[in-house]
């Protein structure tokens, strides 16, 4: 079982008593992978190989070539994590968007089960 600090909006999460909250199981994997995907590669001094090129695509045009490259980068980045056995993705309608924007839905297979992540374009 995995256990780590729980993150919320880029900071530690706390319990109602003021203690640091813990994340367990698949929640740890989810927050680890999301942190890896949104952090530029090499941005952490202690882990220069961590991160991804996903942030480079934020200001890029949303043409089919760029979306395909973004999709491949997200899948490959997730596969760098030893807990991820398979990664597949597809562009889907973002349920939170009012303008019909698409989001990248990642389906990751781990030993413990399947994890789905939804990456929204800003």
pLDDT (tens digit per residue) in 59-80: 888 889 999 999 999 999 999 9
The DSSP 8-state label assigned to residue 95 in this structure reads T
Query: What CATH code is carried by the domain that includes residue 34?
Result: 3.10.450
User: How many domains is the chain partitioned into structurally?
Assistant: 1
The pLDDT > 70 percentage for the chain reads 98
- Using the predicted structure, report yes or no on whether residue 1 has a pLDDT greater than 70: no
Partners of 12 in the beta sheet? 7
Partners of 104 in the beta sheet? 91, 119
Q: Is 111 exposed, middle or buried (0-12, 13-18, 19+ CB in 10 A)?
A: exposed
E-only strand ranges, the chain: 3-5, 7-8, 11-12, 22-24, 84-93, 102-110, 113-120
Give the per-residue pLDDT at 30: 92
Where residue 3 falls among pLDDT bands split at 50, 70, 90? confident
Question: What is the domain extent for residue 49?
Answer: 3-119
Helix-strand-coil percent breakdown of the chain, rounded to 5? 25, 35, 40
The pLDDT > 90 percentage for the chain reads 56
- Using the predicted structure, report yes or no on whether residue 25 has a pLDDT greater than 70: yes
């Amino acid at each position: 079982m995995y256990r780590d600090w729980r993150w919320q909006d880029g900071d530690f999460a706390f319990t109602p008593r003021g203690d640091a909250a813990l994340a367990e199981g698949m929640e740890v994997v989810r927050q680890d992978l999301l942190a890896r995907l949104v952090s530029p590669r090499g941005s952490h001094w202690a882990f220069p190989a961590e991160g991804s090129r996903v942030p480079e695509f934020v200001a890029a045009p949303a043409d089919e070539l760029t979306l395909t490259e973004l999709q491949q980068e997200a899948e490959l980045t997730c596969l760098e994590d030893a807990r991820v056995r398979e990664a597949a993705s597809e562009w889907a309608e973002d349920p939170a968007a009012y303008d019909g924007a698409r989001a990248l839905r990642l389906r990751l297979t781990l030993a413990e089960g399947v994890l789905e992540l939804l990456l929204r374009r800003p």
